C-alpha cells in the first residue's frame, strides 16, 4: 500500500513536471520542470531497486545535462518563445488520434498485459554488480562508449568554437 | 505491490509528453529538452522490465542510454550555439534553410 502511495505521488509529480514543460513559454522554466521530472524518476528507480541507476540519474541527468542546458539558455539569452499557428489538419486529426491511441495502449497495458506485480526493490542493482556486468558481459560496448564520448567531446569543441578564431589566434600569436 | 503496467503507463505518458513537446514547441532548446524527456520515458520502462524479468542487463542498458544522451546533448547544444551564431534566432520556424 505504501509502495503504491509513494509511486503515485512521485508519478504525479513526474507527469506534472512533464506537462509544465509543455505549457511554460520561457525555456528556463521548462528546464527547471525537466529537473523535477528527472528527480522524481530517480525515486521511481529507487522503488524498483535500481540504486545505481537512481544515483546516475541524479548525477548525470539532473546534474550535468541540465546544468549544460541552463548554461546554454543563459549564454544565448533565450527569451520567451513566439507561438506560431500550427496546421489545422494536425489539430483536427492529431489530438483525437493521439487521445484514442493513448487510451487504447493504456487499456491494453492495464487489462491484458498479465505481467503481474513488482515489489519494492524487486531487483537490486548495486554498483558492484552493475560494474561487474559492465566489465565482463558488456566490455566491448563499454569500451565503444568511451570512443563515442571522445568523439562527442571533439565534436562539441569543433562546433562551438568560434569560426575563424584559430586563424586569429595564429595571427596574434 | 504495484502492477508493472503502472510503470509502463507512466513511461508512456512521459514519452507522449516528449513527442508532443517536440512537435508543438518552437524554441529549439525546448525541442531538445523534449528529446531528453522521451529518453527518460524509455529508461523507466527499461528499469521496470528489468525488475519484472530479473535481468540486470536492463539496468546496464539504461546506463548506456544515459551515456548516449550525455554525448548527444553535448553535441546538440554545440549545434544550437552554432545555429544561434549564424541565424541570431532560436525559433525553429526561422531555421528552415541548410545553407544561408
Chain B partners of A155 at a C-beta cutoff of 8 Å? 74-75, 78
Nearest in space to B60 (alpha carbons), one of A140, A116, A62:
A140
Say whether pLDDT at A48 is over 60.
yes
Q: What is the DSSP letter of B92?
A: G
Say whether pLDDT at B35 is over 90.
yes
Number of neighbouring beta carbons within 10 Å of residue B70:
18
| B3·A57 Cβ contact <8 A | no
pLDDT in tens, A103-157: 888 888 777 766 677 777 778 888 899 999 999 999 999 999 999 999 999 999 9
pLDDT in tens, B70-81: 999 999 999 999
| A134·B37 Cβ contact <8 A | no
Does the complex come out with an ipTM higher than 0.95? no
pTM of the model: 0.88
Nearest CA-CA distance, residue B99 and chain A, Å: 16
Q: How many CA atoms lie within 13 A of A157 on its CB side?
A: 6
pLDDT in tens, A155-171: 999 988 877 665 555 55
**pLDDT the model gives residue B26:** 87
**pLDDT the model gives residue B63:** 93
| B81·A18 Cβ contact <8 A | no
Amino acid at each position: 500500500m505504501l509502495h503504491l502511495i509513494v509511486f503515485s505521488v512521485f508519478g504525479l509529480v513526474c507527469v506534472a513536471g512533464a506537462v509544465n514543460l509543455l505549457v511554460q513559454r520561457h525555456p528556463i522554466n521548462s528546464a527547471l520542470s525537466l529537473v523535477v521530472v528527472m528527480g522524481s524518476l530517480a525515486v521511481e528507480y529507487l522503488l524498483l531497486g535500481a540504486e545505481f541507476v537512481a544515483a546516475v540519474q541524479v548525477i548525470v541527468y539532473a546534474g550535468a545535462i541540465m546544468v549544460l542546458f541552463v548554461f546554454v539558455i543563459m549564454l544565448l539569452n533565450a527569451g520567451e518563445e513566439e507561438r506560431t499557428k500550427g496546421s489545422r489538419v494536425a489539430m483536427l486529426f492529431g489530438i483525437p488520434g493521439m487521445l484514442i491511441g493513448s487510451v487504447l495502449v493504456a487499456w491494453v497495458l492495464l487489462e491484458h498485459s498479465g505481467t503481474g506485480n513488482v515489489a519494492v526493490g524487486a531487483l537490486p542493482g548495486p554498483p558492484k554488480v552493475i560494474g561487474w556486468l559492465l566489465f565482463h558481459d558488456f566490455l566491448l560496448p563499454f569500451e565503444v562508449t568511451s570512443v563515442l564520448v571522445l568523439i562527442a567531446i571533439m565534436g562539441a569543441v569543433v562546433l562551438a568554437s568560434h569560426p575563424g578564431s584559430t586563424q586569429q589566434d595564429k595571427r596574434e600569436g | 505491490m504495484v502492477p508493472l503496467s503502472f510503470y509502463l503507463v507512466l513511461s508512456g505518458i512521459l514519452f507522449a509528453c516528449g513527442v508532443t513537446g517536440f512537435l508543438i514547441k518552437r524554441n529549439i532548446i525546448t525541442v531538445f529538452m523534449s528529446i531528453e524527456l522521451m529518453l527518460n520515458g524509455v529508461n523507466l520502462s527499461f528499469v521496470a522490465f528489468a525488475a519484472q524479468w530479473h535481468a540486470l542487463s536492463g539496468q546496464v542498458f539504461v546506463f548506456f542510454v544515459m551515456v548516449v544522451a550525455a554525448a548527444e546533448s553535448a553535441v546538440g547544444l554545440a549545434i544550437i550555439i552554432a545555429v544561434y551564431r549564424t541565424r541570431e534566432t532560436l525559433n525553429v520556424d526561422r531555421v528552415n534553410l541548410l545553407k544561408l
